[in-house]
Amino acid sequence: MNIAIIGSGYVGLVTGACFAEMGHKVICVDSDTAKIKLLKKGKPHFYEEGLEEMIQRNMRNGRLFFSSSIREAVRKSLVIFICVGTPPKPNGEADLSYVENVSIEVARAMPSYRLIVEKSTVPVETGKWIEHTIRLNIKKKIGSRLSADRSCLSAGRSRLSADRSCLSADRFDVASNPEFLREGSAINDFFNPDRIVIGVESERAKEILKEVYKGIDTEIVFTDIKSAELIKHASNSFLAMKISFINSIARICERTGADVEMVAYGLGLDKRIGRHFLKSGIGYGGPCFPKDVDAFIHIADKLGYDFSLLKAVKKVNDEQKALFIKKIEESLWILKDKTIGVLGLSFKPNTDDMRNAPSIDIINSLKGSGARIKAYDPQAMKKAMSIFKGKWIQFCNGPYDVARGSDAIVILTEWHEFEVLDLIRLKKLMRNPLIIDGRNIFDPKKMKKLGFRYICIGRTA
């Protein structure tokens, strides 16, 4: 099937490459010409394991193409996925201007029936506005065409009839197909999903999307568009709630001497709860959870419902970074002129994504207190350099380079590389054997035996 992906960011590019891998013919579009130029060389603009090889393989097979023209993509494709950004406004509301702009361009380019699928994370009722925008702009296109062709009273009558048929209900369909890809495991998530959610309003759209996903062995949940839109926000908000819940439990553990890792393990064995997302730390970050929680709170407020539970989730998460900074301050007493080594910058392991990474606020706070910062991340160094500009932060070649001469090491991302460090070597390089671990990757008792002062979240030696 011919598919267009409008927006070649994280979701769009991974989705497009995976559809091509399934055998579809895919055109990925983006307004960023520099990004498209890079992609035409087979180079993605972010790190995701296995993605570069998949892109290059499907380009060679003639199934994956890149363009900056929405018009070209729409004319060549039956199904158009909208994968553009929906960044938050200052009040937390999702900015849907990119979605609207794409809808207008799609309407202007459609030569015949097309299925337009919203894959971007959007507020409930966005599908209705996409349909309204497309229909309105089809009417405008026909109106301008007719006014330019006054000869329609003669030979143009057949054209007038054809143009009027463009306004019929079967000219296009809108559907919702939210994504549930996790950065660092996105390709596996695409081909082995827990479920595929599809919101449709017509049998034609349903059959087309069944064909698009044919070959993926999972349950397809067909529902109305509004329910599909809500499933996405509800899912991410629920997972964020689990993270804030276990971080709240960690605070109680620290006050009682209990071990949050054991509490989470025992809690997660309950099948009604599950073990996923019960990992205490410095809070959630990234491009999805913070934005989606804020957006869902705003959606509820707009509908006249005070979603106080989600507001508490957000509050706990915001506090978690401040509490971790306090741990650093209490451990070192005076931060001014102390050298603090930072291991991990991306918001989670196996990605170079720095969007809403907790490391940003934590490092900026340490800098504000006069500390000297040394930092390392296996993948996110380049992006971190563009965020932390200036000579006040030293980017290092590896964990041991970070450790050399440091008064403390703080762990902000749970990369596997850090879990298998030679801790004896690390200790010898440090000025002071102090590790403040925001991700609980080591055993406190083992660290104490090795001679470290080890401070983590919700655990004691």
Active site residues: 288
Tell me which H or E stretch contains 2: strand 2-6
Burial (CB count within 10 angstroms: exposed 0-12, middle 13-18, buried 19+), residue 459 = buried
Six token digits for residue 41: 């060389």
One-letter identity of residue 229: E
Pairwise CA distance, residues 184 & 416, whole Å = 12
Q: Bridge partners of 410?
A: 342, 436
Kindly list the distances between the CA atom of residue 271 and the CA atoms of 237, 247, 259, in Å, as whole numbers in the listed order: 20, 20, 21
Largest CA distance in the chain: 94
Please name the amino acid found at residue 196: I
Contact 16, 39 (CB under 8 A): no
Question: Strands across the sheet with 172-176, in order?
Answer: 64-67, 25-29, 2-6, 79-82, 114-118, 172-176, 195-199, 219-223
> What DSSP letter does each residue of 24-84 carry, written as one string?
-EEEEE-S-HHHHHHHHTT--SS--TTHHHHHHHHHHTT-EEEES-HHHHHHH-SEEEE--
E strand spans, 305-442: 339-343, 372-376, 393-395, 408-411, 434-437
| SS3 label, residue 199 | strand
Query: Which residues have C-beta within 8 Å of that of residue 364, sequence separation ≥ 6?
Result: none
Percentage helix, strand, coil for the chain under 3-state DSSP, each rounded to 5: 50, 15, 35
Distance CA 73, CA 31 (A): 12
